[in-house]
Amino acid sequence: MTEPDMPTPPWERARRRPARVRVPLTRERIVDAAFVVLDQEGLDGLSMRRVASELGVAVSALYAHVDNKGELLELMYHRLFDGFELPEPDPELWQEQLKDFARESRARLQRHRDMARISMGQVPFTPELLRHVERLLALLRTAGVPDRVAAIAGDMLSTYIDGFVAEEGVWQERYQGEDTKSWSEIREDMKEYFGALPPDRFPNMLAVANLMVDETNDYRFDLGLDIILRGLASYVKEPPDAS
Amino acid sequence: MTEPDMPTPPWERARRRPARVRVPLTRERIVDAAFVVLDQEGLDGLSMRRVASELGVAVSALYAHVDNKGELLELMYHRLFDGFELPEPDPELWQEQLKDFARESRARLQRHRDMARISMGQVPFTPELLRHVERLLALLRTAGVPDRVAAIAGDMLSTYIDGFVAEEGVWQERYQGEDTKSWSEIREDMKEYFGALPPDRFPNMLAVANLMVDETNDYRFDLGLDIILRGLASYVKEPPDAS
DNA sequence: GAACGAGTAAGAACGCTGTTCAGTAAAGCA
DNA sequence: TGCTTTACTGAACAGCGTTCTTACTCGTTC
């Protein structure tokens, strides 16, 4: 194609690399494409074939860079923690620090459709992610949370966050099939459903139905978080007191 | 076909019912078969075809009784609550009652492989299951938990229970691929893995590693439960005091 | 400069999946 | 006894994750 003897002219030289349209496939590019597919089709529509087509590439090409779909999901899960640094533990501020951690986690999960569902299926015990777990444990332990409590508190927080965001996603998904209803419309539907319950058999449901529906998700998330934090705090002994 | 007046002769009586080898397919029988498959193959191996073959029936026959696989999973989820009655709320005993509820839930989830994973994907807002939610809410509200807290506490408890049992299942599954290792062997492996971490970079992990591994799952489950219960209790005002 | 070897991508294939649909056999009713 | 309704079958469709053989391109070495 090119004359081997001739020097490449400057305009070519500038063009050379971009000329080969075929940008080499990398894990990074595959994960990028996977996120595009995830946002468009959701987790159930995230297939290797769809990711490949997003890259303009054959399916089998992916398997040179990724062992299987499970590993691809794991790589996506790792993205969740990119640049996610937990602060230096401050015993005075541990509750606020934990709240910030939880809110940041939720925000990151919300950045991609069904991301919470992916997260729920993963265990952060890979070498890269252990650092993160370590920092979370540091936060809890320097706060004075007993070791045996701290050992499961991290799990509990993550489970709560994943579960909450996943549930948010379910409601959103369930109602955007046809009309892409807004949250306020969903709320109206829910209120109608709960309001129609026979009052004699469901007095407690009716009593809290409005609260379940009216409050913003942000508020409900923080409230659930507070329940856990108060529970944790109940195990923290005052520093100067008895051991 | 049968003479309504005449008594059925004994030879007929013996042959009649068993003669039609084909026991009619029902939702119940399909769900039964689905549980057999679930226990043998796990959730990932639970396919409509496999369920059909368990019944000695064509796949398409299932679809006369069940809309789709999702509905089958929903029916299996409903089984979880068969005969699961919550006690009459007693304000004095609410913490114990809640613990009993949680332990019973966990035990039921553990009765079938991957049942927790199925449960996580379901919302108990179907007419049959609302009764259960109502009872749970009754427990919380008569205990003095404020409405806005009770409104999310039920969700939180369920999420915790599902998440815990699902995680138990993951460890079990991960290690029974080859040798069907026992829990004690799994523990040994984990201890070795955590023990090999560089102590300067993972001091907190190392400090709690033994606790994460040594304690029984029952203990860890109850401890997590206590965290939530203490959190909830912190919202309960004393009865005689200020409103 | 030519030959080679490693690594990348393509294409077809395998065995599975959930679901649908036209056809058939059996059961219930007149 | 014949007819209608129901219950089931078998084949098919489109899609899935994964593997394997083949083609090709690149950087390196002789």
DSSP secondary structure letter of residue A1? -
| Per-residue pLDDT tens digits of chain A, which is 243 residues long | 333 444 444 334 443 333 344 578 999 999 999 999 999 999 999 999 999 999 999 999 999 999 999 999 999 999 999 999 999 999 999 999 999 999 999 999 999 999 999 999 999 999 999 999 999 999 999 999 999 999 999 999 999 999 999 999 988 887 765 555 666 777 788 888 888 999 999 999 999 988 888 889 999 999 999 999 999 999 998 765 444
- Gap from A9 CA to C9 C1', Å: 30
CA dihedral A178, A180, A182, A183 (to 10 degrees): 80
**B contacts of A134 (beta carbons < 8 Å):** 201-205
What kind of fold does domain B94-233 have according to CATH? Tetracycline Repressor; domain 2 (1.10.357)
Tell me the domain boundaries of chain A. Answer: 21-79, 94-233
Q: What local confidence, expressed as pLDDT, does residue A11 receive? A: 36
Q: Are B197 and B174 in contact (CB under 8 A)?
A: no
CATH 1.10.10.60 matches A21-79 = yes
Please tell me the predicted confidence (pLDDT) of residue A180. Answer: 56
Interchain proximity B137–A167, CB inside 8 Å: no
CATH class name, domain B20-79: mainly alpha
Residues of B in contact with A160 (CB under 8 A): 156, 159-160
Rounded to the nearest integer, the mean pLDDT of chain B is 88
Q: Which of A151, A163, A231 sits opposite B208 (nearest CB)?
A: A151
pLDDT, position B137: 97
Q: What is the distance in angstroms measured between the alpha-carbon CA of A7 and the sugar C1' of C2? A: 21
CA dihedral B186, B192, B196, B202 (to 10 degrees): 60
More confident residue, B3 or A131: A131
> Cβ contact (<8 Å) for B223 and A152?
yes
Gap from B193 CA to C14 C1', Å: 38
Among A130, A131, A160, select the one facing B159 at the smallest CB separation.
A160
The per-residue pLDDT for A161 is 98
